[in-house]
Amino acid sequence: MLTGKNLVAGHWRSGETTFNAVEAASGKPIEPAFAEASSADVGDACEAAAQAQSTFGALALKDRAAFLRLAADKIDALGDILTQRAMLESGLPEARLNGERGRTVGQLRLFADEVEDGAWQGLRIDHADAGRTPPKPDLRMRKIPLGPVAVFGASNFPLAFSVAGGDTASALTAGCCVVVKGHPAHPGTSELVAGAISAALKECGLPQGVFSLLNGTDYALGEALVKDPRIAAVGFTGSRAGGLALMEHAASRDVPIPVYAEMSSVNPVVLMPGRMAEAAADLAQAYVASLSMGAGQFCTNPGIVLAVDGEHTAQFIGAARAALEGVPAQTMLTGGIRDAYESGIDTLGAQTGAELVGTGAEGTGPCGRSYVYTVSAADFRSNPAFEQEVFGPSSIIVRCTDLDEVADILSGMEGQLTATLHMAQTDHEAACALLPILEQRAGRIIANAWPTGVDVTHAMVHGGPFPATSDGRSTSVGTLAIDRFLRPVSYQDMPASLLPAGLREGTSGTLVRVNGTWRLP
């Protein structure tokens, strides 16, 4: 059923060298072998994307939306075949992957609605005023697609942040063609999804250059893709090292391009004293559930918890230890991720002041065992190693003297995707003083929940200051993600017949700003 080929603008192409996916649970190779994309494949995919760009970018909004909806339907229709292959390759459980398929197609459908909403075009019209000195020209603005986007599939969301994931959905919504560099941990999953997108393009009568999928295990493939002059932007979710490398490649081009890399975050969680007095043990239960969910392989894993030392924090630590005992080891996404996790845990445990709170059950095979450490604020502050993300089911509880020390630690932290406050009514005043710090540090601030859920909606920010992402001005989840792949163009005194749809008088059909006044249709 799987071809093991790369999809270059509608053509399935084999290659000279191949690699195999590996069964996450056993570490054994799975058939078929997959072709490593060649530099010719990169060039041809990018050229086809560039050729298709003007057609796809100028498509009527309803047609672009119809394509996204059809792609969603075709991915949904893959059903159990897709789930089974993704389970094999990622080691993630069936329910999670069915849920992730729902998230993926829901995302595409939300973005289809968003295409039709049209406000993302940022339409503005300023009418001429010949009587002004100097005469005021007629000016009309809209946002247009940046051009072909390179999307790097993430290992930890083989569906929702991979081939047809958030970056692909937002780029297509913006009218950008997409060349995906599939994650080598799940090439079969990637091929199935790419086939669905290609079929949707065909059925919609759109050029196949709108979408290509390239597989490979060599970093040079990603580098070639980012450096291809026809690529106009990059979307990436992965490690900090990977993201930084892509940023360098993009900056070294003759024409530098934006890179949207979602890289690393330890997602600080503050346990405020009032709330701890109410519910330390309950918080500990929820904490352990959050940090160990999905073997801790989430960008928003609660890696660092800050609490004021004392009776309730001791209670929290004790309850966390107890809760950990019931946590089974879970298969990790790849052997490489498992090895990096174990090495990260070893490094963490060896730091001065690191005390082991407890661990989950030990597993067999390529499993991740949960670990929680605790450290004093003084030791934490004197050693940046504690702030490094250890990707997997681990977390550190930092015992602080008082809330001033909590504030100091937060102020000194790197940029984060999320920051969380657990608080009771009595904590609000103190929380209010922390909020300006958290706003400076994170893209999302959460009250009384754990950060591991990321809703796909209009007001979501899954982003944050460097190094959480390469570009804190954007989000990679939610409808604002479209904005990343657009740029404004202004038309001055353009005859009506030459203006694009939407900018001709009375044709916007969406939110438009006319002479400074916002108007709804």
Place of tokens 């904490």: 287
Smallest distance from a second copy to CB 491, Å: 5
Omega before residue 207 within 30° of 0, cis: no
Task: Tell me which DSSP letter residue 131 carries.
Answer: T
d(CA 477, CA 213): 21
- Left (φ > 0), alpha (ψ -120 to 50) or beta: where does 13 sit? beta
Nearer to a second copy, 81 or 496 (CB): 496
Name the catalytic one among 46, 176, 177, 299.
Answer: 299
Residue of 501, 420, 483 whose CA lies nearest to 122? 483
Q: Minimum Å distance from CB 477 to a second copy?
A: 10
Q: Nearest-CA neighbor of 4 among 77, 85, 78?
A: 85
CB of 351 to a second copy, least distance (A): 22
DSSP designation for 241: H
Contact between 357 and 324 (Cβ < 8 Å) = yes
CA distances from 379 to 273, 295, 353 (A): 21, 27, 6
Omega cis (within 30) before 134? yes
- Cα separation, 37 vs 215, in Å, equals 6
Distance of closest approach, residue 244 Cβ to a second copy, in angstroms: 10
Catalytic residue (choose from 36, 114, 191, 262):
262
299 carries an active-site annotation: yes
Nearest distance from C-beta of residue 483 to a second copy, angstroms:
9
- In the complex with a second copy, the residue whose CB is nearer, 47 or 203, is 47
114 noted as active-site residue: no
DSSP symbol at 21: E
Residues 449, 482, 100, 158: is their CA dihedral positive or negative? negative
Report DSSP state, residue 386.
Answer: G
Please report the beta strands in 360-474, taking only residues with DSSP state E, as ranges in sequence order. 367-368, 371-376, 394-400, 416-422, 442-447
- Pick the closer one to a second copy by CB: 367 or 423: 423
Q: How many residues does the chain have?
A: 521
Does residue 424 contact residue 274 with C-beta atoms inside 8 Å? yes
Contact 241, 383 (CB under 8 A): no
Minimum separation from the CB atom of position 302 to a second copy (A): 14
Q: Which is nearer to a second copy, 352 or 411 (CB)?
A: 411
CB closer to a second copy, 375 vs 437: 437
- Number of CB atoms found within 10 A of residue 289's CB: 14
Q: In the complex with a second copy, which residue's Cβ is closer, 232 or 345?
A: 232
Where helices occur in 426-479 by DSSP H, the ranges are: 428-441
Q: CB 324 → a second copy: shortest distance, Å?
A: 24
| Least distance between a second copy and beta carbon 386 (Å) | 18
Identify which of residues 85 and 249 has a Cβ nearer to a second copy in the complex.
Answer: 249
Q: Which amino acid is at 172?
A: L
The token duo for 19 is: 């690699």
**Residue positions annotated with a catalytic role:** 262, 299
